[in-house]
């Protein structure tokens, strides 16, 4: 034990020494302004990392790039939209890495979310993408619509849902994801009784331990690997075993439900996955399929719940917008006699505008980071990015930049009207990312939110209030405010 401690201390001291020799004034030497202490401010403070990046963004209004340090590694905040496009799309092979190293024994994180192997990531994404086509979503819609109706019953019969609105929304998004992955059993009375709510909550909630893991994986990857840390170690055994059991039962009964498990079985029945161009192969094991299912929860449960929360918070402070949205929902529901189809939900065009504006003002993923995998040059300014330098795209800051959005703190859905949306520059709106690694489940998330909001606003309105948060919760990636209050008022329709 003593030798391990000494080795750890030696490695840390060497890393610090190497930092001062190799990276001291790294950005200053390149005539780029540099900021120190960012990660320390995040770890010890009360703000999200995206908020800290936003403060830095506006501290240098004339600069297109601001240098900082993610621990012992140089990182660069980039502002220019053309350079952002290069990172996310044009020079993607130089920036495909998220810059969060995992350990190979972390079966959930290393199998999809933070996958560093480019060939492996590309093959898995190609095979999983079809589950989010409009055809697949139409087949799956009956699941989401059932969950939305059950959500209304859940609110009506659960006082805690009224007292803790975020928990109620989180119950809806998690339960909807559970049903979309595993299907709905015939004897299920209410789909909100999901066994995965606590698991998903613990996996996504920020804490000092979680933030420290993300910080180490991002800034001192060798130490993260040496300590054999896992992002989702507490959930790994339970979730993988559940998926294995469901796969086994579903194969035995040949029970098709148009859910994600159906897709997993289809992939496994096709045999070894292969990239015909490169010859790269991958076995669609139960563990790999479980990781893809787990990705639904991690990418969707918390972010979608917060997206719903932010929509409702802004509606409660903008009653004319709320009134107009109520009318649109009522018109659609009355026309179909409350037998809602996916085509009915697609008619809610003003709701799309409201959601888009909420995504702008409160992007649930407040920043994107990418690690440079091979030395390259950004097009604007010819900024040289060396291998292993991280690039940060400050989504929250860009979404509040008055250069792209006049009066950016005002909630105005008209920004996203069919006419005005054309005025928003490409890559200035990034709620789901953009380029080759754009959120694969964006269509699913939008549909899940729309049907949930539609049923909620059909049955309830909101008490007027003004939402003006001082800061968000200290999360590495996200904008979160789980304590925010909403008061639901039943409607007579």
Feature table: binding site for heme: 439
d(CA 492, CA 460): 8
Q: What angle do CA 115, 117, 121 make, to 5 degrees?
A: 60
- Point out the annotated binding site: 439
Dmax of the chain from CA atoms? 73
Q: Which two tokens stand for residue 403?
A: 């250069």
d(CA 251, CA 467): 49
Question: Beta partners for 102?
Answer: none
In 10 A of CB 15, how many CB atoms? 16
Task: Report the candidate in 170, 445, 201 with the shortest Cα–Cα distance to residue 305.
Answer: 170
């Amino acid at each position: 034990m003593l030798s391990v401690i000494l080795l750890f201390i030696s490695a840390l001291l060497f890393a610090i020494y190497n930092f001062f020799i190799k990276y001291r004034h790294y950005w200053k030497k390149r005539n780029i302004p540099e900021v120190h202490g960012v990660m320390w401010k995040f770890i010890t403070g009360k703000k999200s990392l995206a908020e800290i990046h936003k403060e830095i963004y506006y501290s240098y209004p004339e600069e297109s790039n601001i240098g900082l340090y993610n621990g012992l590694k140089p990182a660069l905040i980039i502002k220019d939209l053309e350079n952002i496009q290069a990172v996310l799309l044009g020079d993607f092979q130089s920036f495909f890495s998220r810059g969060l190293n995992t350990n190979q024994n972390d079966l959930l994180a290393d199998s999809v979310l933070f996958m560093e192997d480019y060939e492996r990531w590309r093959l898995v994404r190609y095979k999983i993408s079809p589950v989010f086509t409009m055809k697949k979503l139409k087949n799956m819609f009956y699941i989401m619509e059932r969950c939305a109706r059950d959500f209304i019953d859940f609110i009506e019969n659960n006082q805690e849902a009224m007292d803790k609105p975020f928990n109620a929304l989180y119950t809806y998004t998690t339960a909807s994801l559970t049903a979309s992955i595993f299907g709905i059993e015939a004897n299920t009375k209410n789909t909100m009784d999901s066994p995965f709510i606590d698991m998903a909550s613990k996996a996504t909630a920020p804490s000092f331990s979680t933030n420290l893991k993300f910080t180490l994986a991002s800034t001192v990857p060798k130490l993260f690997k040496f300590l054999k840390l896992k992002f989702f170690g507490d959930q790994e055994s339970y979730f993988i075993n559940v998926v294995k059991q469901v796969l086994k039962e579903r194969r035995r009964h040949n029970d098709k439900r148009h859910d994600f498990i159906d897709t997993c079985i289809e992939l496994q029945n096709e045999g070894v996955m292969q990239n015909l161009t490169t010859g790269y192969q991958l076995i669609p094991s139960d563990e790999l399929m479980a990781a893809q299912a787990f990705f639904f929860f991690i990418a969707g449960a918390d972010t979608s719940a917060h997206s719903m929360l932010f929509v409702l918070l802004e509606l409660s402070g903008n009653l004319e917008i709320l009134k107009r949205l109520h009318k649109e929902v009522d018109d659609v529901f009355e026309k179909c006699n409350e037998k809602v189809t996916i085509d009915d939900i697609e008619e809610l065009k003003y709701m799309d505008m409201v959601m888009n504006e909420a995504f702008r003002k409160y992007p649930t993923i407040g920043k994107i980071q990418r690690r440079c995998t091979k030395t390259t040059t950004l097009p604007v300014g010819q900024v040289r990015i060396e291998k292993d330098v991280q690039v940060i795209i400050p989504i929250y800051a860009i979404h509040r930049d008055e250069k792209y959005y006049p009066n950016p703190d005002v909630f105005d859905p008209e920004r996203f009207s069919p006419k005005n949306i054309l005025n928003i520059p490409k890559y200035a709106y990034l709620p789901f990312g953009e380029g080759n690694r754009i959120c694969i489940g964006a269509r699913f998330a939008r549909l899940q939110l729309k049907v949930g909001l539609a049923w909620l606003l059909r049955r309830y309105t909101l008490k007027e209030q003004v939402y003006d948060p001082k800061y968000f919760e200290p999360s590495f990636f996200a904008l979160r405010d789980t304590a925010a209050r909403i008061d639901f008022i039943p409607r007579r329709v």
